[in-house]
Amino acid sequence: MTALDDQEDLEEQFAQWRHYVQRRRELHQSDADELEDHLRGCVDELVAAGLRADEAFLVAVKRMGRLDDLSREFAREHSERLWKQLVLTGGTDSLEAETRSRRDLIAMLICAAGAAASVKAPELFGMRLAQDISFYGPNASLFALPWLAAYLAWRRQARRPLIGTLVALFALGAVAANAYPLANTSQSVVITSIHLPIALWLVVGLAYVTDDWRSSRRRMDFIRFTGEWFVYFVLIALGGGVLTAFTVGTFQAIGIDPEKFITQWLLPCGAAGATLVAAWLVEAKQSVVENIAPVLTRLFTPLFTVALLAFLVAIGWTTAGINVEREALILFDLLLVVVLGLLLYSISARDPLASPGPFDKLQLPLVLSALAIDVLVLLEITGRITEYGTTPNKAAALGENVILLANLAWSAWLLLRFVRRYTPFAALERWQTGYLPVYAAWAWIVVLAFPPLFSYV
Amino acid sequence: MKVAKDLVAASATPMVLGILAEGESYGYAILRRINELSDGELDWTEGLLYPLLHRLERLGYVESSWHSVTGERRRKYYHITDKGLAELAEQRRQWDTVVHTLKEIWLGPGNFRLLTAIPLEGKA
């Protein structure tokens, strides 16, 4: 072996050592540099004393002691490093990553400003937020979501056909929101206001997954994104609430009433901007912070299971029928959404290859009890509709109920087969991701076809 | 002989500050110097030295700067600040008191029997 080979060998060993050090969260890049210099000093001295390079390396590493002990000592001085910090800009070690995150931040700020401006733009044409509910309600999602889709498409460098599709779908959404002659008080305004955001959110999903829209994995990523986005949005909203409270309080103390500013500017523009900020946070922190939605799922799955089972027992005990008013139907729809969410976000965080555990078994009673409750509700409501005729509200709620019921029923079946080890977990995951277009299709049907079907009631 | 861990930890700060008061230096050289001065009796680990240097930097007793040495290799040098010199003076005063007191106890008049007894017991 020549001295040159020796040197190459040594460099390789150093590279490997660096790799180990860099995996330690307690040790930063500069610490790794400092320790490497130390190690090299030690090796040089041992080589000068007559050892061969590889022997010297082994001795030097041995002297430095176990990496565990070393990082523990570092952690005592730098305890903040044990908390994963979301560094918004700067602080990253490589220059390339830093320029990238800076560009991301700027693009997000532009899009957020665009979304906020979009909210106020209709006022130039004489619209008033307080009065024109039939305009602002259905159009609410059209202010922020196109900007969100644009931001995501920009980040993923979407190609032209996809951009064209996105533009076309948002245009279609604008048509659905504005083309029909609906009165301020009509049921269809409310229905469209609820369903258009769902339809457009799935268009955002298209921008999120870009070219791989058929891939089950990418769709699952979008589901994860949705959950985290929601958590962040709620957190930002809470912060916004505190900000609002202080603004109102302090200004009122000096005799100025900021209510108009709050309701006309801060809330609508803030909500539109927060849509973008939340998405940007999720994208930026993807690998930094653990996902919180699956944690909430773990916490609440047992609690919801107990609540639903208790409700079923109470129905059986009292033999009371469910009093199905319109609100009750919506309530039970939301219940199914929550159960589906619990199922979805535990799927999203699960290792697909792991064998069924106690938590998977716990989900089965949750889904089954939700199904049982829903069947009771559904029987009641179909009786009502055949008796009194239907309205857009009832038809939409009923449609959602059927869609969710179908999803959960098949999920329960797949879950049962998975727990008994007949089918792999991937089947359940594929079922859920494959179902996303169904939600999209239904939401589009409701916003496009319902108003004419029910003669613009 | 192994110096107790607590004693090593307590004496580390004045030692590092003292070495840096002689001129700027870097981790490995500091470690070598300690080893040399104590005839190999004080065996500091990297896990002791580097976090200590970082702590002294955080407290403002030392400042650091990167210099490049041979090729791409970079080395972090530490040099003592005025605040560090003041701290060193304070620590020195305290250590002088401790050392002086110990000397008085062990070497003072009337106590020479205790002093001679220690090595005798050691040999037995």
Closest residue in B to A39 (Cα) is B28
Confidence of residue A127 (pLDDT cuts 50, 70, 90): confident
Starting at the edge strand found earlier in the chain, the sheet holding B74-80 runs: B25-26, B74-80, B62-68
- B70-122 pLDDT per residue, tens: 777 889 999 999 999 999 999 999 999 999 999 999 887 655 555 555 554 44
Q: What residue ranges define each of the domains in chain B, with the CATH number in brackets? A: 5-123 (1.10.10.10)
Does this model's pTM top 0.80? My answer is no
Q: How many residues can be counted in chain B?
A: 124
Best of A38, A39, A46 to disrupt the B interface (most B CBs within 10 Å) is A38
Q: What is the mean pLDDT of chain A?
A: 85
CA distances (Å), origin A376, targets A193, A250, A276, A321, A332: 28, 52, 41, 8, 11
Inform me whether the pLDDT recorded for A390 exceeds 60.
Answer: yes
Give the per-residue pLDDT at A4: 64
Asked if the model's pLDDT at residue A205 lies above 90, the reply is yes
Write the burial class of residue A38 (CB in 10 Å: 0-12 exposed, 13-18 middle, 19+ buried). Answer: buried
Query: What's the residue count for chain A?
Result: 457
Q: Which of B26, B45, B55 sits opposite A65 (nearest CB)?
A: B45
Q: What confidence score (pLDDT) does residue A377 get?
A: 79
Q: Residues A407-427: what's their mean pLDDT?
A: 89
Structure-token match 């609690």, residue found: A303
**pLDDT tens track for A108-121:** 999 999 999 999 88
* DSSP line for A99-160: HHHHHHHHHHHHHHHHHHHHHHGGGGGT--TTT-HHHHHHHHHHHHHHHHHHHHHHHTT--H
pLDDT surpassing 60 at residue A240: yes
| pLDDT confidence of residue A321 | 67
Residue B48, min C-alpha distance to chain A (Å): 7
A67 neighbourhood in chain B, CB within 8 Å: none
ipTM of the complex: 0.78
Pairing relationship of beta strands B62-68 and B74-80 according to DSSP bridges: antiparallel
Question: DSSP letter string over A285-352?
Answer: HTTTS--SHHHHHHHHHHHHHHHHHHHHHHHHHHTPPP---HHHHHHHHHHHHHHHHHHHHHHHTS-T
Residues of B in contact with A74 (CB under 8 A): 47, 50-51, 54
pLDDT in tens, A281-319: 888 876 666 678 888 888 899 999 999 999 888 888 887
Phi, psi of A241 (to 5 degrees): -60, -45
Q: Looking at A8-22, A40-54, A326-340, B8-22, which range is the least confident one?
A: A326-340
Q: Residue B121: its pLDDT value, please?
A: 46
